[in-house]
A and B are shown apart, each in its own frame.
Chain A
């Protein structure tokens, strides 16, 4: 039997229900793992071991008394620190929220707790989710567990690294332009950005509402399905949320018609390209048809993404006025003219840059030149994709065009950093679901395959991902030397 901390979510629940180990034993093994590796990886901003052990004891008591322990009884979950958790500090990796304790649980957290999951702590990210490396976290960067000198991806870098190293069973991240898929790909785990609306965003601290979704990061497709089914659904607190059918794991799959997006392949590194092509051969082995296609307006996707995301950020982050949450300043500093700009100087550089760009594209004279054009492009891309999905079941390409890179490589050049997101923003602009699966390594660094489907067609994504996962056998746990 594998070590307790290496178990997948469904194995944890089964083990506890069969009496093979207790929830307390399992949670203790995960906490021991954190003690062993956290100083190297630094996934957490806030760790809540004590409360996690108390919840584990409660699960054990329920089990003894023959009560239902829930579908996720004993599973430890790490939460990206931009999802509200009642009475657990929620910082968004920002100094502005360094002492913020939400008064309520996000809907996804409520669903997890109702099903017996144990919230272990809050995971690192780039400040407010703006970045692709966790280097913009105002606390500390997270390290890639496959090579500690490299970035883990972002913005949900803590989520990717913690799941890969076994510091939690599964994690919840958020994806605005690739923030779940990028770290999942860089850390060799599975990450899903669901269809816009499948999961309630209530309690997710907003950065760009029209683009972002909460989603699971796990060590297997089966665990993704388990978490997805529990956190999905219409929520009275989020009017963009919708009800959807539960997803199942099927052993037999349809012969899907799959299209490889030429532009995503062409712009990628040679090693990434080769690995993606060999994965597409595996699709053929499992009976699917693979063709290469082109998306006409794809090169406009990233500039429109950054226009829209920055515009929404400049509006959303206006709420940080230091009155309802923030710093306690000396009375002399409470002057009307300078108060707000003085406290808001505590945002990090990348957040400031995006707020300034957002103000620029929304200001009079530039609104129709940038913001409106970006909105129009978004609608064109969505229409083009919907047309493609009439002919193809799934679209594929590399999740990341490059391998994980070293710290500091791109931090001083915003455009270089933005280009990292070039393959992932499409799914956010169109609101479609996208999954990343680990498919191989180059020089010890992970490569991920991205699969996209039409809105609410997650079942197709899962079917093909599960089949591919069973075909490709790759190393799952970094040695962390």
Chain B
């Protein structure tokens, strides 16, 4: 069972503030999900291995060149009162 502390820790590392209602119902819901994925434990890993779906070679990467993009539009998403605002450092 996920404890109140564990849920608090997961919320903290995920940077999400939970509402009272969520803090109450999430432990049971997350427990059920974890119980469900616990079936993976049965899997004997002996001869199995991780196989990437697709291997990308370094020399296949595109060249790192500067391209023009829609500056105005980006600014519209970035600015608040004409400034980019971030949280205050301690």
Q: Do A and B bind each other?
A: yes
- A-side residues, CB < 8 A to B, are 86-87, 100-104, 196-197, 210, 236-237, 239-240, 297, 299-300, 303-304, 306-307, 314, 318, 321, 323-325, 328, 334-342, 344-345, 347, 349, 352-353, 355-361, 363, 369-370, 372-380, 382-383, 413-415, 418, 431
- Once the chains bind, are B14 and A359 in contact (CB under 8 Å)? yes
Q: How many residues of B contact A (CB 8 A)?
A: 53
Question: Which residues does chain B contribute within 8 Å of A373, judged by CB atoms?
Answer: 40-41, 43, 45
Chain B residues 26-79 with CB under 8 Å of chain A are 26, 29-30, 32-34, 36-43, 45, 48-51, 53-54, 56, 60-62, 69-70, 73-74, 76-78
Picked from B12, B51, B77, B87, the residue with its CB within 8 Å of the CB of A103 is B77
Question: Which residues does chain A contribute within 8 Å of B12, judged by CB atoms?
Answer: 341
- Once the chains bind, are B74 and A323 in contact (CB under 8 Å)? no
- In whole angstroms, what is the CA distance A306 to B33 when docked? 9
27 contacts between A and B (CB under 8 A): A101-B77, A102-B73, A103-B74, A196-B53, A239-B62, A299-B39, A303-B36, A306-B37, A324-B77, A328-B80, A334-B87, A336-B88, A340-B15, A341-B15, A341-B17, A342-B17, A344-B15, A352-B16, A356-B7, A356-B26, A359-B13, A372-B50, A373-B41, A373-B43, A414-B29, A414-B33, A431-B53
- In whole angstroms, what is the CA distance A415 to B62 when docked? 41
- Once the chains bind, are B16 and A339 in contact (CB under 8 Å)? no
Picked from A100, A349, A383, A414, the residue with its CB within 8 Å of the CB of B22 is A349
- Once the chains bind, are A303 and B39 in contact (CB under 8 Å)? yes
Question: Which residues does chain B contribute within 8 Å of A236, judged by CB atoms?
Answer: 62
Picked from A104, A324, A377, A415, the residue with its CB within 8 Å of the CB of B36 is A415
Shortest beta-carbon distance, B77 to chain A, in Å? 5
B1 within 8 A of A: no
List the 6 shortest-distance A-B pairs measured between CB atoms, nearest first. Answer: A379-B51, A339-B87, A103-B73, A103-B70, A341-B17, A345-B17
- In whole angstroms, what is the CA distance A358 to B6 when docked? 14
Picked from B33, B48, B53, B89, the residue with its CB within 8 Å of the CB of A357 is B33
Shortest beta-carbon distance, A98 to chain B, in Å? 12
- Once the chains bind, are A87 and B43 in contact (CB under 8 Å)? no
- Once the chains bind, are A356 and B36 in contact (CB under 8 Å)? no
Shortest beta-carbon distance, B24 to chain A, in Å? 12
Interface of A: prevailing SS = helix
Question: Which residues does chain A contribute within 8 Å of B26, judged by CB atoms?
Answer: 352-353, 356
Using CB atoms, name the residue of chain A closest to B53: A431
- In whole angstroms, what is the CA distance A363 to B81 when docked? 39
Using CB atoms, name the residue of chain B closest to A102: B73
Beyond A306-B36, A369-B41, A376-B50, whether A239 also contacts B61 by CB under 8 A is yes
Shortest beta-carbon distance, A426 to chain B, in Å? 14
- Once the chains bind, are A103 and B69 in contact (CB under 8 Å)? yes
- Once the chains bind, are B43 and A377 in contact (CB under 8 Å)? yes
Shortest beta-carbon distance, A111 to chain B, in Å? 18
- In whole angstroms, what is the CA distance A240 to B81 when docked? 39
- In whole angstroms, what is the CA distance A359 to B85 when docked? 27
- In whole angstroms, what is the CA distance A374 to B34 when docked? 13
- In whole angstroms, what is the CA distance A221 to B4 when docked? 51
- In whole angstroms, what is the CA distance A355 to B69 when docked? 31
Question: Which residues does chain A contribute within 8 Å of B49, judged by CB atoms?
Answer: 376, 379
Question: Which residues does chain A contribute within 8 Å of B18, judged by CB atoms?
Answer: 345, 352
- Once the chains bind, are A357 and B34 in contact (CB under 8 Å)? yes
- Once the chains bind, are A356 and B16 in contact (CB under 8 Å)? yes
Question: Which residues does chain B contribute within 8 Å of A339, judged by CB atoms?
Answer: 87
- Once the chains bind, are B32 and A414 in contact (CB under 8 Å)? yes
- In whole angstroms, what is the CA distance A237 to B30 when docked? 36
Question: Which residues does chain A contribute within 8 Å of B90, judged by CB atoms?
Answer: 336-337
Using CB atoms, name the residue of chain A closest to B50: A375
- In whole angstroms, what is the CA distance A197 to B52 when docked? 13
- Once the chains bind, are A376 and B77 in contact (CB under 8 Å)? no
Question: Which residues does chain B contribute within 8 Å of A370, judged by CB atoms?
Answer: 37, 40
- In whole angstroms, what is the CA distance A370 to B41 when docked? 8
Using CB atoms, name the residue of chain B closest to A97: B77
Using CB atoms, name the residue of chain B closest to A306: B37
- In whole angstroms, what is the CA distance A378 to B48 when docked? 10
Question: Which residues does chain A contribute within 8 Å of B14, judged by CB atoms?
Answer: 314, 344, 352, 355-356, 358-359
Using CB atoms, name the residue of chain B closest to A360: B10
- Once the chains bind, are A341 and B11 in contact (CB under 8 Å)? yes
Question: Which residues does chain B contribute within 8 Å of A358, judged by CB atoms?
Answer: 14
- In whole angstroms, what is the CA distance A306 to B32 when docked? 13
Question: Which residues does chain A contribute within 8 Å of B19, judged by CB atoms?
Answer: 345
